[in-house]
Amino acid sequence: MCRWLAYSGSPILLESILYKPQHSLIDQSLHARLGPHTTNGDGFGVGWYGEGDEPALYKCVDPVWNDRNLKELSRQIRSRLMFAHIRASTGTPVQQTNCHPFRHGKWLWMHNGQIAGFAGVKRELVMAVDPALYGSIEGSSDTEVFFYLALTFGLAENPPAAVQRAVGFIERTCRAQGIEHPMRMSVAASDGESLWAFRYSSEGVPPSLFYSTDVQALREQHPEIEVFRTLSDESRMVVSEPLGELAGVWNEVPPSSWGRIREGQDQVGPFIPAAH
């Protein structure tokens, strides 16, 4: 069911967060611990903010553990805001246009979870996407449709409100078709300035999600990653599962909540799908 990580802070090499940690995302592609799938080999993707205004993407359908190019690139890509995602498909084809992260303008978006019964509601959901945005949908995944609904409902103006509206709409649409518990999600989104995280489930425990709070603790936890010594106090990571042993470093993101990481004051709030 996918694993992801997002980083915001001092510019560091992608390699530091993608390959070096003990239980890195690469390791999670074969030995994930906190999801229903130990193997996440149905493609991967990284997105990062570097040259220019729009984020760059590198997405492939191959298992990440074999990809030599990604290993090379991770030693060259230095960025202050990076997304990485490994996929375990929930039914839609394995193709580049179904890999995360998704991008629209300066926005990046990735997701772990699924919309239950998506095949039956897809047409309705897609039709609710702003016609001006419809043409930007390239693939066939639930995640991408979810992203375009969030954009339709004002992601660029107010991300928590937009995502809550999108989830509310999805839940209503699914329930009208007899799908009682439609939504499971941990989501990361960014416009290049802030890093937004969301954790919610229509019912039960949502997909796992953790954030790092203490850079000092990060340094102690990962002595093998020298670059952490150079990190600013603002540096943060949000991850599907901890990159190392739980030692007071990784904090669980509460269910039904959202968070915003940015320079200066971070924000948190409750995630409540909009009623209408």
Rounded distance between C-alpha atoms, residue 155 and residue 47, angstroms = 18
Helices (H), 67-139: 68-74, 118-127, 131-134
Q: Which of 18, 26, 32, 77 binds a copy of itself (CB under 8 A)?
A: 77
- The length of the chain in residues reads 276
- Does residue 101 have a cis peptide bond before it, meaning omega lies within 30 degrees of 0? yes
- Shortest distance (Å) from residue 259 CB to a copy of itself: 28
Q: Does 50 sit near a copy of itself (CB under 8 A)?
A: yes
Q: Does 251 sit near a copy of itself (CB under 8 A)?
A: no
Strand ranges (E), the chain = 3-13, 44-48, 56-60, 78-86, 102-104, 107-115, 183-190, 195-201, 210-212, 236-239, 250-252, 257-261, 267-270
For residue 138, which of 178, 102, 86 has the smallest C-alpha distance?
A: 102
Q: Which of 22, 96, 216, 232 binds a copy of itself (CB under 8 A)?
A: 96
For 232, half-sphere exposure in the C-beta direction (CA atoms, 13 angstrom radius) is 12
Closer CB to a copy of itself, residue 227 or residue 272?
Answer: 227
Q: Does 80 sit near a copy of itself (CB under 8 A)?
A: no
Using alpha carbons, list the distances in angstroms from residue 263 to 55, 209, 234: 19, 21, 7
Q: Does 120 sit near a copy of itself (CB under 8 A)?
A: yes
**Whether 214 contacts 247, CB under 8 Å:** no
Closer CB to a copy of itself, residue 123 or residue 276?
Answer: 123
Binding span for a copy of itself by CB under 8 A among 86-94, 157-165, 168-176, 230-238: 86-94
| Binding residues for a copy of itself restricted to 137-176, rule: CB under 8 A | 138-140
Closer CB to a copy of itself, residue 141 or residue 257?
Answer: 141
Q: Does 66 sit near a copy of itself (CB under 8 A)?
A: yes
Q: Does 41 sit near a copy of itself (CB under 8 A)?
A: yes
Residues in contact with a copy of itself by the rule CB under 8 A: 13, 30, 38-39, 41-42, 48, 50-52, 56-63, 65-66, 68-69, 72-73, 75-78, 89, 93-97, 119-120, 122-123, 127, 131, 134-135, 138-140
